[in-house]
Structure 1
Amino acid sequence: MDELIVDLRHQIEIMKLLDNEPELRPGTREDNHKLGLMLLGKFSALDSYAARVRRRYINEFTALATPPNDLDVLMYDLRVRFEREFGFTPVMERNSDSVIGLPQHKAIADPVPVGAVIQSPAAATDGEHVKVGVVDTALVPHPTFPANLVSGTQLTPSGAEPLPVLAMHSAFLVGLIRHEAPAAGIVVRAGLDADRDRSSVWQVAREIADLQDQHLDILNLSFGVTGDHEAPPMALRRAIDRLDPRVLVIAAAGNRKGDQDEPKQVWPAAMTDVVAVGATNAIFSMTGPWVDCSAAGVFVTSTFPAFPVTLSSQDVITFGNGLAKWSGTSFAAGTVTGAVAARMSRTPGMTAREAFAVLLADNGQDPVRQPTP
Structure 2
Amino acid sequence: MDAVFEAQFRMIRQACAREGKHIDVALRPGGEAAYAYQAERLLVLDRGDNVARIRRHLPGVYPVDETAPGDLVVLATDRLDDGRLTVPEALETLRREVGAERFALDGSGLPLASPVHVLHLSRLCMATEPETPNGAESAPWPPPCSPPEGGHEVRVAVVDSGLMENFDEADYPWMTGVTGEPDPLGPVSPGTERLIEGYTGHGTFVAGVVKCMAPSATVAVSNVFANSGAELETEVVAALDRVVAAHDPHIVNLSAGTYTQGKVPSLAFETFHAQHPGVVMVAPAGNDATSAPFYPAAYDWVVSVGALGADRRHRAWFSNYGDTVDVYALGEAHVNAYTSGTYVYNEPPKASARQDFTGLARWSGTSFSAPLVAGLIASRMARTGESAQAAADAVRDTAAMQAIPGIGPALHPCDEP
Bin the TM-score by the shorter chain. 0.7 to 0.9
User: Which residue of 148, 153, 159 maps to 1:129?
Assistant: 153
Q: In structure 1, what residue type is equivalent to 2:131?
A: V
Secondary structure of residue in 1 paired with 2:65:
strand
* Pair 250,270 (structure 1): closer, same or farther in 2 beyond 3 Å: same
Q: 1:103, 1:328 within 8 Å by CA — same for their partners in 2?
A: no
Equivalent residue in structure 1 for 2:322, among 288, 305, 315: 288
Would the alpha carbon gap of residues 13 and 149 (structure 1) be closer, same or farther in structure 2, given more than 3 Å must change?
same
**Counterpart contact for 2:186–2:195, Cα < 8 Å:** no
The within-5 A match list for 1:90-169 is 92-102=112-122, 108-114=127-133, 115-118=137-140, 119-123=143-147, 129-141=153-165, 142-144=167-169, 149-157=177-185, 159-160=187-188, 162-169=195-202
**Partner secondary structure for residue 288 of structure 1:** coil
What is the CA distance between 1:164 and its match in structure 2? Answer: 2.7
Percent identity over the alignment is 24
1:358 pairs with 2:397: no
Matched to 1:117, the amino acid is A
Alpha-carbon contact 1:95-1:200 (below 8 Å) kept: no
Give the match's secondary structure for 1:69: helix
**CA-CA distance at 1:370 after TM superposition:** 3.6
Whole-angstrom CA distance in 1 between matches of 2:49 and 2:195: 43
Query: Is 2:294 the partner of 1:274?
Result: no
Residues 305 and 123 (structure 1 numbering): CA distance in 2 closer, same or farther, change over 3 Å?
same
- Distance apart, 1:50 and its partner CA: 6.7
Q: Hey, what's the Cα distance between the residues in 1 that align with 2:360 and 2:402? A: 25
Task: Show the counterpart of 1:60.
Answer: none
1:202 and 2:245 matched: no
Q: Is 1:342 aligned to 2:361, yes or no?
A: no
Counterparts of 1:162-177 in structure 2, within 5 Å, are 162-177=195-210
Runs of 4 or more, structure 1, over 6 Å off, are 74-77, 124-127, 145-148
- Alpha-carbon deviation of 1:11? 9.0
Does the 8 Å contact 1:136/1:169 carry over to 2?
yes
Is 2:180–2:221's contact at 8 Å kept on the other side of the alignment?
yes
Residue matched to 1:61: none
The answer to whether the 8 A contact 1:120-1:179 is kept is yes
Offset at residue 217 of structure 1 (A): 0.8
Match of residue 304 from structure 1: 338
* Contact in 2 for aligned 1:295/1:336 (Cα 8 Å): yes
Q: In 2 relative to 1, CA 75–190 (structure 1 residues): closer, same or farther, beyond 3 Å?
A: farther
Instruction: Specify every segment of 5 or more residues in structure 1 that has no aligned partner in the other structure, as ranges.
Output: 52-65, 84-89
For 1:199-221, what per-residue CA distance to the aligned partner results, in whole angstroms no more than 9, with x for missing partners? 32222222222233232211112
1:1-373 correspondence to structure 2 within 5 Å:
1-9=39-47, 14=52, 28-30=64-66, 32=68, 35-41=70-76, 43-48=77-82, 69-70=89-90, 73=93, 92-102=112-122, 108-114=127-133, 115-118=137-140, 119-123=143-147, 129-141=153-165, 142-144=167-169, 149-157=177-185, 159-160=187-188, 162-195=195-228, 198-213=230-245, 214-245=247-278, 247-257=279-289, 262-280=290-308, 281=314, 282-312=316-346, 313=350, 314-320=352-358, 322-348=359-385, 350-362=386-398, 370=403, 372-373=407-408
Contact 2:198/2:228, CA 8 A, preserved across alignment? no
TM-score with structure 1 length normalisation?
0.75
Q: Which residue of 2 aligns with 1:54?
A: none
The CA RMSD measured in Å over matched residues stands at: 3.8
CA contact under 8 A between 1:121 and 1:180: conserved in structure 2? yes
Deviations 1:299-336 (A, max 9, x none): 0111111132222333222311x111111111011111
Instruction: Give the drift of 1:263.
Output: 4.8
Report the secondary structure of 1:192's partner residue: coil
CA distance, structure 1, for counterparts of residue 81 and residue 238 of structure 2 = 28
Q: What are the Cα deviations for residues 204-247 of structure 1, in whole angstroms up to 9, with x where unaligned?
A: 222222233232211112112115342211112221232142x2
The TM-score with structure 2 as length reference comes to: 0.68
Following the alignment from structure 2 to structure 1, what is the Cα–Cα distance between the partners of residues 238 and 156?
A: 17
Residue 125 to residue 177, structure 1, CA distance change in 2 (3 Å): farther
Change (3 A) 1:202 1:179: same
Aligned-residue offset at 1:251: 1.1
What is the rounded CA distance, in whole Å, between the counterparts of 1:293 and 1:330 in structure 2? 14
Structure 2 unpaired stretches of 5+: 1-38, 103-109, 189-193, 309-313, 409-417
Report if aligned partners of 1:363, 1:370 keep a CA contact under 8 Å in 2.
yes
One-letter amino acid of the counterpart of residue 39, structure 1:
V
Deviation at 1:71, TM superposition (A): 6.1
Distance, in Å, in 2 between the alignment partners of 1:288 and 1:334 is 20
Could you tell me whether the CA contact under 8 Å between 1:173 and 1:334 is conserved in 2? yes
Cα contact 2:304–2:324 (8 A) shared by 1: yes
**Contact conserved, 1:135 with 1:190, CA < 8 A, in 2?**
yes
Residue 125 of structure 1: how far off its partner (Å): 7.8
- Alpha-carbon distance in 2 for matches of 1:274, 1:134: 15
CA contact 2:122–2:366 (8 Å) conserved in 1: no
Deviations along 1:5-26, one digit per CA (max 9) or x if unpaired, are 23345699649959x96x7655
CA deviation digits over 1:321-366, x for unaligned, max 9? Answer: x111111111011111111111111112x112322343444459xx
Residues 270-314 of structure 1, C-alpha deviations (whole Å, 9 max, x = no match):
211111111122122112122111211110111111132222333
